[in-house]
Structure formats: C-alpha cells, structure tokens
Structure 1
C-alpha cells in the first residue's frame, strides 16, 4: 500500500518539522507549503466561507412562537442545547410571575374602609360618653362641696343650720340654741306674734329692739372646749338693713352684728323679711354670756327670732 491510502502517514503521525531530520528527509519530507511536510499529507485547510455559523441544527423542528419544539424537548431524554427559553429572547414571552392586586386580598377590592370608619365612630362615641359622665359626676361633687362651705358673715341663710334641727342629739351639747322667749330682755323689749314666720315655739319673736339701750342677753351653758365659734341670729327686717353691737362675756366685738337685707325683701313687709346672719365669737369652756345691744350708731329696726352657736 502507498502512503496515500494506507493510513501510515495519518495526521496523528505527521511531524511538521520532519524535513529538518535525516529520517524525515529520507521519507521525502519537504518544507511546508500548505500541508504538514509529508507527501500526500492530509490537507485540512478549508476554503473561507464554507463553514457557516448560527444555523439551526437540522434535527431541531420549528414550532409556533412561545412553544417548545417537541423533538428538541424530548430528544434523548434531555433538553436540546440549541433551545433557548422564549423569555430569554428579545421580545420574548413575559414571565408567568404575577403581581398581587394593588388593593390586597379578597378579590382586590381594597381595604375595608367602612369597617375602619365604624370603628373610629365607636371610639369617638365612647370618649364623648366618658367625658359626659365625668362632667356630670364633677358637677355633682361641686354641688356637694358647695353645700359644705361655711357661711360667711355677709351671707344670709334661709334655713337654720343642722344644730338647731338636731335637738337632743349628742352634738347638741356643743351647739346650744335659744328661742326668743328664753332670752333675757332689757326694759322696753317684749315678745309678739303680730306677723308670721318666726320659727321659735308659738311663732314668738322679740320686738321693740329699735331703741338705744335695748338689749337681749343669752347665757350659753355647756361649752366643752374653748375656741372660735359662730353666733347665728334669725331675724326679720322691713326691707332695710340693720345691725347691732355684739358683746361676748362683756367684751364688744370690733364689728357689729350685721342684720342686712340679704334676700332683698320688699320694704315694709315683715313676713317676707325673715333671714339669717352670723358673726365670729370666741368662747371659753363652760358658761359664756352673749349680748346683742342697740347702741349709739346702730340701726336696730329688727325683730329677733332665734340665736344658736355653731363650731
């Protein structure tokens, strides 16, 4: 067989530099002129343009856009190397990932604004109700507190304080009282029942007080503790302010006992002129003497109903 067809000079045995050696020259090796240097060597030069790139292999079948060719998908049980997913190609199909609806769940209907509104209204209603209850309770406490405030010397009282209504009580020993007919009267004074409204027994009151030198005296027994007290007086005036000198154990107070027209009763109407006033007094333990006198400078046009002491 000749070297051209027996494979002795196959490409793997070719020596491109064989012409440089004696044995190569003996075998007829020549400098390369397009081959490997041996006679009849395999020329693997391929003309330019004979190989084409980017062509689809013949075993790949085309399919409608977006679908995987059957032969490529199932050839030899593995994916075809020439297949590319549609979403990787320019203009390819969109991915299957879907965005959640903007409104959230429940079919994309958005948040339950109606439920939120009802909840907000319920909260506001609860707050308003709480404020109303607190205000009602505060007003009640305020009214109760005002009832406990002591009466000042310039205030009138329509009703007698609790000591006068609690006769026979244990506290009565510290809060003595006296009716008009039990007072010691100076000459010229007397008791009467000409008009109604006196709270003393039988509606009796002291009259004739409107003259200088007139005086009523009350001997107060049973003061268990020395200290400051209030002397209350219930009286009636004909719609004009009056006053009297107050003496405790023979010592006059710095200010007169005010018998003012606190209720603004009409002039000349004695029955509508009943009211109450008080003045501070300092009492000693045991027995004390309290006097109301009409002295010079006093305006004494008044009748006297009751006197009492309150801590």
Structure 2
C-alpha cells in the first residue's frame, strides 16, 4: 500500500486466500510461507486424495513415531503386569491355599466332642459319689467293728427271729457260771416259761452259748434279750475264746423307771465273726462292767445287721 491508496482495487487483492482462486492466482496472489497466512503455522494443506488418514505423521526429524494400537487391539509393545517380575498374580488366590473357607464342620465336631467329654466326666463323678455314699451306708459307721452293740429297735421287749434259719437259745439252754442263776420271779421275760438268768451283777458271773449248725464262715450278728432296772449296764463279750474290744451295751432302751425290772425288758446286738460249724458265745460280768441285768434269750442273724 502507498499513501493515498486505500487498498487493493479489487477484493481478491486484499484477500489472504486469494491464491486459492483463479482470479487471485491471475493477479499474482501467493500462498503465505507459514501456511494459512499465519507465521510459523503448520502447513496442513494437501492435495485432495493425497492425505492418508490412520497413518502416523512424520516427525520434524523425518522419523515416524511408534504407532499406538488400534482401539480394542493390544499394542505389540504392551506387556501385561503379570508377565513382569513381581507382577500381579495370574489367578485368584485364597488365604486357605485351596480356594475354600475355614473348616467350620470340623470345628463344630470338635466343640461337640469337648462338651460330651465334660458331660461324661460329670456323670462319672456323680456315679462315683453315689457309690461311695451307698458303700458307707452298707458298711455302717466306720467306727463300728465286729463287736458293734446298740439298740436294735426302740422296743420294750425282745423278739426272736421267725425264719428259723439260724440257731437261737432261751435261758434254759445256757451254761451258767460265777454265781449266775436261773429265775422266773420278774414278769416280762420272753424265754420259754418266763425263765431268765439273774444274779448276774457279780464279777465272774457268765452265760455261755454253744452254737451248732453255723452254715459258713463270715459275719453274723448276735442279739441279746435282757432287762435292766431303769439304768444302763455293760457286760463283756467273748467269741470262740477271743474277748471283744467293745462291751455289750445293756442300756435302758425301754426307758423304765429306776428300780423297775419288769418294765426294763429290751434287746441289744453285737457284730461278730463266726466259723462254719460249732462256735461258743460267752457274756460275762468282768471288772469294770455294770452288770445289774437279767438275760433271757440269745439269737443270731446273718451278716452285720441292726435288726432281726
């Protein structure tokens, strides 16, 4: 442009794209050196049909950059993480190592076994306790020995066994010694004819019963029918020549008034050991005994019992 010239005389002279038209080219329009008329612009003008899309553009240095893989297709240069050292595992892993959860069935069986063991242990302990208690009841007081002596039953009179399995004796059949004598003055004796052994309250007085027909060795109980004048007494027991360590308790189980022999009839017992066949049972008044009593009957029971 020159001063006074307001521009090209025709529009194409001022059109930066005039080189694209025939008129512009006829008037000498030239394309800009930077492309699109802008300095340093990338020349993207190509002849129609020459541009091939999808091909990598050449870098300024003439090298073609590596092509990225098409959509949906793996890049040949891509490596999966699991193929690299220390990469991700290739399969699903489980904390148990076999893909299964904890063995809950085994745990349940173990718990049931423990509970069963505890229940069985408690049951055995209870059974043992019952057995011990029953054993104590059956054996009696641990302090009791083969010469246990006490009241068989709170009765005012004696009673002989009725089964007839073992021998029994009235006063008439007893051997007397040391001043003991038979009498029938005091009523209430259950021996035949009301006969009893009196005058027993003297040291050395005794009665001896020779027993025949004991079926076997073992434990027996000897019962003694007697009467006391409202007070307790004692005597000494000897079986087959062996003196018992415990006396015969001639207690006032009938609770008779003092001095009343007639109301003082009762019975007692001692636990003894007998041999098969013949045995001797002796009751005597020895030093230290209180022997003010009348004796009327003796009888036996099998085993160590408290009544018979």
TM range (shorter): 0.3 to 0.5
> Which structure's residues are more often helix, by fraction?
1
Query: RCO greater where, 1 or 2, for CA within 8 Å and sep 6 or more?
Result: 2
